Structure 1
Amino acid sequence: MSKIICSALSFSWSDGTPVFTDLSFTVGTGRTGLVAPNGAGKSTLLRLIAGEYEPLGGSVSVDGVLGYLPQTLPLAGEPTVAQVLEIAPVIHALRAIESGDASEEHFTVIGNDWDIEERARAELDRLGLGGVDLDRTIGTLSGGQIMSLGLAAQLLKQPDVLLLDEPTNNLDRDARRRLYDVLGDWKGCLLLVSHDRTLLDRMDRIAELDHGEIRFYGGNFAEYEAAKQSAREVAEKNLRSAEQELKREKRELQQARERAARRASTGARTNADIPRIIKGGLQRRAQESAGKANTMHSQRLDVAKAKVDEADRALREDQTIALSLPDTTVPAGRTVFHGQRMQVRSLFAGDGIDLSIRGPERIALTGANGVGKSTLLQLIAGLQPPDSGLMTRADGRVAYLSQKLDLLDLDRSTMENLESAAPHLPLSDKMNLLARFLFRGDRAKLPVSVLSGGERLRATLLCVLCAEPAPQLLLLDEPTNNLDLTSVEQLTSALNAYQGAFVIVSHDDRFLADVGVNRRLELANGTLTEI
């Protein structure tokens, strides 16, 4: 049976920062999704299993042939498709023999792979690359096609164990569906890292990497979420119970001290005529008794405080964004954007495309990679002038979030960027908004350049959604790319609080459903159509 076994695995970065300490787990046959926040070590763990990193301690063993697809293919120069598939020498030998060269070295190179070209074309066809020639250089392929090509290369190895790191990154909807089908047929051991919840819902189990430990949950991602929610409800109940116990212990300690004080006062009056030596003994015994009672109650109070701290820690990592954005409201009948016969670089068919956005519409803009979706967003935002056509925008701010999240001043803090975006907002309101977007204490004062991807997204959303004036049209280009699951949930919360119109380019169907998309447009063959 194909499986991965990690025993007492330890790994640290070159500066001594620990990533894993004595991590042990086994992944057997079946499809396992590995989830954790960005920076927790998911990709590092895959690289350790793949042998790209050497552990400082412990061991990794893989039963069977291993295939590994990283987020970014390690490609040098301009290799051909055949070179990426690692079959170029065999193809060369086959063609040499076909041309009459029967050198023994060609037969040695081919081995048992006489059908390698047919198998390669079959894998390419499964992944939507059937029309791609083996001699084609990858510089002519899109990012999504390169990712699919990388997967085809691993599948050609006929691996028993397959590691995939964010395999749906850069894939359009059709390419994602083909990937889902391929993995649905998988019979070996699969361990994948992904923030694609549709893909994670096709897993047999979920492995959660948390603070250097792995916990396994049977079932798909939806069942994992249900289990986590149940655990959270238990943690909330435990916290309430611990807080009540703490209040009770504080009350009993205060009452015990008051009783001891009353007894001491009464004893002093009662023992006024008792000889001094006897009185001293009585006082010592009374003090010892009171001290023991005080110690007992103090210990119980410490235990109660510890229970509160433990229960609170179970909930402290709640990363939910909760806010209200009334200033972003757009009246239902208002046209916020209207474009007629828009054309740029002959990208669109005929005289160009038409588009109207009215009221608080929530629009999903879909289409294959490279058809012009990002260009259309830039036209709507006014960042790309049309070569021809007419465009009108209603009064009100239009905000555009590119894939690069490059709206903020990287050298300034989140607080300073917010001050620039909303200069008239009272300081108390700014601090409240920072907290609602989970920037508390020193995190709000750090330069944006040192923030994680998820933090930078939150900082950008904060400064865009809470700006003066508030945006009434929001344009987002692949906003979930490279985000961890927590960040996707935070983005979803923020967009559900937003009351204006938005247009989102995304291939993530689950995300689009969660943000309440009520209109879908598809850009294909230069034509924009309602779907």
Structure 2
Amino acid sequence: MLILKNLSYTHPDKEVLFQNLQLSISAGDKIALIGANGSGKSTLLKLIAGDLPVTDGLIQLIEKPYSIPQIFGQYNHLRVAEALQVDVKLNALHAILKGDVSEQQLQLLNDDWTIEERCAEALRYWQLQELDLNLPMSSLSGGQKTKVFLAGIHIHQPSFILLDEPSNHLDTAGREVLYHYIRSSKATILLVSHDRTLLNCIHTVAELSRKGISLYGGNYDFYLEQKTLETEALLDDVKSKEKALRKAKEKEQESIERQQKLNARGKGKQEKAGIPTIAMNTLRNNAEKSTSKLKAVHDGKIGNIKDELQNLRNELPDFSQMRFGFDDSGLHNGKRLFAATTINHTYEKQFLWANDLDVFINSGERIALRGSNGSGKTSLLKIILEKLEPTRGSVYRSIFNAVYIDQDYSLISNQLTVYQQLQQYNTSALQEHELKSRLNRFLFTKDDWEKRCSSLSGGERMRLMLCCLTVRYQSPDLIVLDEPTNNLDLQSISILTMALNQYKGTLLVVSHDEYFLKEIAIERTITLQGCKTKSPL
């Protein structure tokens, strides 16, 4: 179905993204392509789809794949039918049904008499049964746009499908439909995703890295097990090499001290024997050369070990070097932070929730806030954080120190440098060297300190946000996370998970990522039921 031979791609600015990639995909294979942000996953899909020119190497395809891209609003100028590439056939069908049976219309339809029924069936499968094909894409939510392209699979029935982060904008119900489709489909599938539930629906993982593409014959959980074993073996190699380095340095010191003693003993004997000065100088020079040669031999051995050790350390995943230091929030577990009794809120003269809400949050809890798109999750968060008052009902708040973190980590100011951003959160009065040490701990090296935050990736913004929280005088009582994994790669999600599991305060999380919610030990769920007739928030 697909063969990549020595595939390379270089950006127009001459930066090499990857080189000499090799990959073979057979009919019916389902492969998850993973890798760090910036490794080139989306670019590789675009190359396979034919949307970008190959710099070097070869792509062999049996047929052109059907591609489902990430949604960034790039299709807003199209109508739904145009985005699905069915507008020409539908127009021809309607013209024929109205009596225009010209050769031109028949050619445009190309005997596809079931196109309208397939469109309706596909939209129904992807929960878009009421969607008008003439609607502009700009009027749809991100999740609806994604479902439109997923519906195209059923309409066009391709045998090879490329999917780039297909679950990003989908709610829980939409994701369940996607998971079922991926498991049951007979098509060849190559997908990029950080949704670990989706990755576990696939039984081959292809990791794209600086080394090329490495295949793991199993789902994502199996891949993690293998990577853990690899990392543990690598750590053992690092420890072994560190031990070898210490021994080499000790041996060097012992050899030099032994040689120096021999030289001193020889010099004493020569002086007693009354050897002429010229001969003494020659013997002394020979001894110095011998010592210098011995040191050079040891330096060479030590240098080789150091190089090998550095190479091993470079292969370790970055997050294995991270350290978190969250202080306790200062609140005892069980203290009532928020209580709402029979609250509701109106939006455009319509109540948000089908039933009035009773909501409470206690200190130390880990809570997931669930609800379909438009169920009012954002409004409830605003009420909890005192940014909105409900139209009716009563509210009690005892939250003195809350942090709201959205999927874009917009608490990070784009105008500031990395160091300036950290300084803004430095309420514990840490000195400059301590702040820079903290940045190093969160993988921001000296080269990063003066970078503008506007240039940071999603994962870097997340790491800087976590770093900022660790330099405050006191950890927040409550951290509210709104779809925090949406723009993160898998390694960044792992870092976020480790940090949250060390945080001892209260968590309130909005996320459709079930795997993530399980990993951060969510204890309780608040589920919202919105009014069907209201405008979505």
Asked if these proteins are the same fold (TM beyond 0.5), I'd say yes
Describe the shift of the 1:320–1:138 C-alpha distance in structure 2 as closer, same or farther (beyond 3 A): farther
**Which whole-Å CA distance do the structure 2 matches of 1:14 and 1:371 have between them?**
44
CA 524–306 in structure 1, closer or farther in 2 if over 3 Å, else same: same
Does the 8 Å contact 1:239/1:311 carry over to 2? yes
Deviation sequence 1:447-467 (CA, Å, 0-9, x none): 211211111122223334643
> 1:300 is matched with which residue?
301
Q: What is the Cα deviation at residue 351 of structure 1? A: 7.1
Give yes or no for contact 2:319–2:491 (8 Å, CA) kept in 1.
no
Is the 2:355–2:529 contact (alpha carbons within 8 Å) kept by the matching residues of 1? no
Is residue 147–residue 167 contact of structure 1 (8 Å, CA) maintained in 2?
A: yes
1:42 to partner: Cα distance: 0.9
Q: Which residue matches 2:515?
A: 510
Partners of 2:390 and 2:46 in 1: CA distance: 46
CA distance in 1, matches of 2:399, 2:37: 39
Partner residue of 1:120? 119
State whether structure 2 residue 309 is matched by structure 1 residue 314: no
Cα distance change, pair 376–466 in 1 and its aligned pair in 2 (3 A): farther
Q: Say which SS state the counterpart of residue 120 (structure 2) adopts.
A: helix
Q: Partner residue of 1:22?
A: 20
Distance 1:403 1:467, change over 3 A: same
Q: Which residue of 2 aligns with 1:467?
A: 472
Where do residues 91-170 of structure 1 align in structure 2 (5 Å cutoff)?
91-170=90-169
Supply the AA of the counterpart residue of 2:344.
M
- Contact residue 202 and residue 218 of structure 2 kept, 8 A: yes
Instruction: Give the Å deviation of 1:387.
Output: 3.0
Equivalent AA in structure 2 for residue 511 of structure 1:
F
Determine the C-alpha separation between the residues in 1 that align with 2:389 and 2:280: 98
Letter in 2 for 1:311: L
**Matching of residues 341-360 of structure 1 within 5 Å:** 341-345=343-347, 346-349=350-353, 352-360=356-364
Q: Which residue of 2 aligns with 1:408?
A: 412
Within 1, Cα distance between the matches of 2:99 and 2:450? 71
One of 378, 386, 389 as aligned partner of 1:385: 389
Q: Deviations over 1:451-502 (max 9, x none)?
A: 1111112222333464345321221111111111111111112211222222
Q: Secondary structure at the match of 2:316?
A: helix
Give 1:60's aligned residue.
59
Identical pairs, percent: 32
Per-residue CA distance 1:365-414 (angstroms, 9 max, x = gap): 11111221112111211223333332221052122123332223221223
Deviation at 1:239, TM superposition (A): 1.1
How much has 1:173 moved relative to structure 2? 0.7
When the two chains are superposed, the root-mean-square deviation of aligned CA atoms in Å is: 2.5
Worse-matched range after superposition: 164-173 or 494-503: 494-503
Q: Which residue of 2 aligns with 1:338?
A: 339
Could you say which residue in structure 1 is the equivalent of 2:4? 6
CA offset at residue 74 of structure 1? 6.8
Shift of 1:163: 1.0
Counterpart code for 2:133 = L
Seen in structure 2, the aligned counterparts of structure 1 residues 497 and 526 have a Cα distance that, compared at 3 Å, is farther
Whole-angstrom CA distance in 2 between matches of 1:120 and 1:320: 51
Q: Structure 1: where are the runs of 5+ without partners?
A: none
Q: What is the aligned residue count?
A: 525
Find the counterpart in structure 2 of residue 325 from structure 1.
326
Once the two structures are superposed, what CA deviation does each residue of 1:157-181 show, in whole Å capped at 9, x if it has no partner?
3222211110001101111111111
Matched AA of 2:345: Q
Q: Structure 1 residues 262, 160: closer, same or farther in 2, change over 3 A?
A: same
Contact 1:343/1:389 (CA < 8 Å) preserved in 2?
no
TM-score, with structure 2 as normaliser: 0.90
| Counterpart in the other structure of 1:476 | 481
* 1-structure distance, mates of 2:354, 2:147: 32
1:47 aligns with 2:20: no
Q: 1:151 to 1:419 in 2, by over 3 A?
A: same
The 3 A distance-change label for structure 1 pair 139 and 121 is: same
8 Å CA contact 1:329–1:499 kept in 2: the answer is no
Aligned to 1:34: 33
| Bigger mean CA offset, 123-132 vs 28-37 | 123-132
1:319 Cα offset (Å) = 5.1
TM-score, length-scaled by structure 1: 0.91
Q: CA deviation at 1:144?
A: 0.6
